[in-house]
Structure 1
Amino acid sequence: MTNSHITLTKTEKDDLNAFFQFQLDKEAYYLAAFTSENPNDKTAYLEKYTPFLTNPTINMLTIKANDEIVGSIAKFMRGNDAEITYWIDRKFWGKGIATTALKELLRIEPIRPIYAGVAFDNYGSQKVLEKCGFIKTGQDKGFANARQTEIEEYIYKLSD
């Protein structure tokens, strides 16, 4: 999959079915940490994410590698702060897809500063953020549904 053609397309409702399947992966769910309470509830998943498709403050994109859906990436607002989130299907980890997709999102979403939160032990995501110029600026604690406990979260920021 290295040297694959990575594209970002506007997420469509049918794409949510693939995203739902990705988050069923136990290892990915654990690393994401800050997830839904019940990853197996497809109805709740679709009810949560379908409105995001038409929310003007959210830029929700589907990541494709050689026209295959391999993940999602989005810019959203939390209060007055812009944040990013992404999820790559685990079978595509370690191939540079998240880094390529994030660089493209940052090109089309010029708002700065922009933030990201990541579980303290999600080293892959920390590496992606740092490759894209994000700096670790702090930490917080939050309840991680995937782990059923409070864990440390690192806060990353991209200023320019």
Structure 2
Amino acid sequence: MIDDLRLRPVGEDDLPEFYAHQLDPDANRMAAFGPPDPTDRRAFAAHWVRILTDPEIVARTVTIDGEVIGHMLAFPADGRTEVSYWIDRPRWGRGYATRALGALLREITRRPLYARAAVDNVASLAVLRRCGFVVSGTDRAYAPSRGHEVDEYVLELPG
């Protein structure tokens, strides 16, 4: 039986789950570009206030059988639209990120879309590739979760 994966608009009731997800040190290291201090509740709240009050950002909660397992975002960045996502680590490896990103891409129809991932984030790169993204460049940026600069791929979902 396939789990009932759904996307819905983010509600304030989802935020405690998102906060709990970001406390996982292994997930933060893999994501690389998360918050400098995942335990900082004020920074977390301010971040989500910005997301939820910006009409240009599409923010979706990912649920499986009604349980919150992560979120998907589409947001403006340097004149283009990027996507990002976070799935709770105990749910990794089950295809949820791929299915959820696919659902977001059906909702966000403008193209091209872009994404970024640390070059060593093999799982996220696989998700993006399965959804049609291709590497279009590289960049190097400071990764707060790792405390140093890392190489990242810039990926594009062509039009």
Normalised to the residue count of structure 1, the TM-score between the two structures is: 0.97
Report which stretch shifted further, 8-17 or 85-94.
Answer: 8-17
- Supply the distance in 2 between the matched residues of 1:69 and 1:82 (Cα, whole angstroms): 25
Matches within 5 A, 1:1-160: 3-160=2-159
Equivalent residue letter for 1:110: T
Equivalent residue letter for 2:64: A
- Supply the distance in 2 between the matched residues of 1:3 and 1:99 (Cα, whole angstroms): 14
Contact in 2 for aligned 1:13/1:53 (Cα 8 Å): no
> Deviation above 6 Å: which 4+ runs of structure 1?
none
- Taking only aligned residues, the RMSD between alpha carbons, in angstroms, comes to 0.9
- Supply the distance in 2 between the matched residues of 1:16 and 1:119 (Cα, whole angstroms): 25
Q: How much does 1:3 deviate? A: 1.4
Contact in 2 for aligned 1:13/1:50 (Cα 8 Å): no
- Supply the distance in 1 between the matched residues of 2:155 and 2:91 (Cα, whole angstroms): 23
SS in structure 2 opposite 1:14?
helix
Contact in 2 for aligned 1:58/1:76 (Cα 8 Å): yes
- Supply the distance in 1 between the matched residues of 2:26 and 2:128 (Cα, whole angstroms): 20
Structure 1 residue ranges without an equivalent (≥5): none
- Supply the distance in 2 between the matched residues of 1:14 and 1:43 (Cα, whole angstroms): 16
Structure 2 residue ranges without an equivalent (≥5): none
- Supply the distance in 2 between the matched residues of 1:152 and 1:51 (Cα, whole angstroms): 27
Query: Alpha-carbon deviations, 1:73-107, whole Å to 9, x = none?
Result: 01000121000000000000011100001111000
- Supply the distance in 2 between the matched residues of 1:51 and 1:81 (Cα, whole angstroms): 18
